[in-house]
Amino acid sequence: MEDIEKRIIEQGDIVRSLKSKKADKPTIDAAVDVLKALKLERDALVPKDAVAAPATSSSGKSEDKKAKGGFTLKNAKGTKDYTPQEMAIREKIFSTIIKVFKKHGGITIDTPVFELKEILSGKYGEDSKLIYDLEDQGGEKCSLRYDLTVPFARFLAMNGKEYQNIKRYHIAKVYRRDQPAMTKGRMREFYQCDFDVAGTYDAMIPDSEILRILTECLTALGLGDFTIKMNHRKILDGIFEVCGVPADKIRTISSAVDKLDKLPWADVRKEMTEEKGLDPAAADLIGEYVQLKGGEELLERLYSDAKLGANARAKEGLDDMKLLFKYLNVLNVSRFTSFDLSLARGLDYYTGLIYEAVLEGSAPPTLANGEKARASVKKGTDELDENTVGVGSIAAGGRYDNLVGMFSGTNKRGEPNLVIPCVGISIGVERVFSILMQKQREQIKSNEVEIYVVGLGGVSVEERMKICAELWDAGFKAEFAYKLKPRTQNQWDACDRDMIPFAVIVGGTEIENNVVKIKDMRTKDESQKGGIEYPRSEMISELRKRLSQI
């Protein structure tokens, strides 16, 4: 929030400076539009509750935000509206990610936004409390989907004969009753971008490509330096076993370990021993392992550990990681990764490799004493204080070989009727968006219009329509003014406001002589004057040539 307030102040200074220097109106209007967009962004991030704190107008008078019907106009907690400028960035995020997904053979599906409650129950460990339950309708208890993975597994269980092998991507909204931190991309309604490989293949081959896909997405999005933290559930479970964790406590202890990116070891140890009843000696042994991180050299160190080497489950995980590193080196991905034993991923359905991607600065703020800030709630709300939390992971995933089988029923031997191993990744769009918005410093083009048809001297709307129709037929993105007799300045202002690169200009003389004038609106080059004249028959080819050079 401090960042956007600073940007608002800076942009306000720019507007005042332009006015004092008597800059041209389009330049001033463009700067004002940027200022308005920033204020809209700020207001969307922190909705003002008119009951608790009435808004104040520029005149200093209190403004009642209640509608005439008596209800308060605000977004529900954990949700927000997006301006055209913000949606331009979001659409770019989606198109960038989809391009990578399709490059790797992905095909898309869709599933309902709500599922039967029993489908979602028992799949998310301690996070199950965050599921949004719906009212009973028609005898069915339903819940809003918590992620896109469990619905995908249900889809495979229902359609397994046709989709034994599939590379699927899915981009859609999910819902969680979490404590929101809006400026850090922690929402209650948000998009996930998932890519999963389902099917029986040789070990770690799909897993390595999934990590390659993730690195391509994050690189293409231009988020800055990132690290993909990796671990293996079998290694982690093996560590718990050799440290003396009872089988019935493995998942709950795993959930505690997963908080090491947010809390110091002392707090995690306290949770394991005092809240979850683990023997302190076992907790101390766990601490010797889960604070280790590195690369292939850590793998060799774990191989030489006698206790882990004697544990069959840990040995399977180490063998998988050895093979994974081999493939990651071939795919030029290993330099982005870190083998981190603190990574646990709290979801119950993971069975093998797990991973999450973090950026520099993703972690919570560091206090003066070097410790990470502890997340706290804003006074009088259930929203997290943004100053005490980080962005967190921007993507996460792993292998889940048994999830489809949970939905397929069992045979006489108690085995699942259908087993389809899966591995996947989920990219959190809201966190990516919050990072890109913080980086944004220039005005954002919210539409894709390339050409504006400008009418001079009262040229008829029909003539402007004809030219626009020609442009549309040729595949151009074009607009014209929805006025019978638009003011000339208003048409120029539309070009500047929407950052439209070219104007096609026609007046009575141009119509009579069957010519048009084309003007590059990105430059104030005086040599263009009122535009460069071309025969009407050359309009399409000239515009295509100019646009190809942008």
| Residue list for the binding site for L-histidine | 147-149, 176, 192, 196, 345, 349-350
The residue type found at 147 is: D
Among residues 217, 270, 201, 279, which one has the least CA distance to residue 246? 279
Please report which helix (H) or strand (E) contains residue 495, including its range.
Answer: helix 488-497
| CA within 13 Å, CB half, 282 | 19
Please report which helix (H) or strand (E) contains residue 339, including its range.
Answer: strand 337-340
The residue type found at 476 is: F
Among residues 274, 275, 277, 311, which one has the least CA distance to residue 289? 311
- Which residues lie below 8 Å from residue 395, measured CB to CB, with a gap of 6+? 214, 217, 218, 356, 357, 425, 426, 427, 428
Termini Cα distance of the chain: 35
Rounded to an integer, what distance in angstroms lies between the CA atom of residue 507 and that of residue 523? 22
* Token pair in block for residue 456: 């001079």
Strand arrangement of the beta sheet that strand 353-359 belongs to: 107-108, 166-175, 189-198, 422-428, 395-399, 353-359, 226-232, 337-340, 293-294
Query: How would DSSP label each residue in 53-74?
Result: S-EE-TTS-EE--B-TTS-B--
Rounded to an integer, what distance in angstroms lies between the CA atom of residue 293 and that of residue 308? 16
List, as residue ranges, the binding site. 147-149, 176, 192, 196, 345, 349-350
Rounded to an integer, what distance in angstroms lies between the CA atom of residue 325 and that of residue 151? 31
Per the CB < 8 A criterion, the answer to whether 111 and 100 are in contact is no
Query: How would DSSP label each residue in 103-172?
Result: HTT-EE----SEEEHHHHTTSSGGGGGG--B---BTTB-EEE-S-SHHHHHHHHHHHTTT-SSEEEEEEE
* Residue given tokens 């979850």 in the structure block: 276
Hey, is 262 helix, strand or coil?
coil
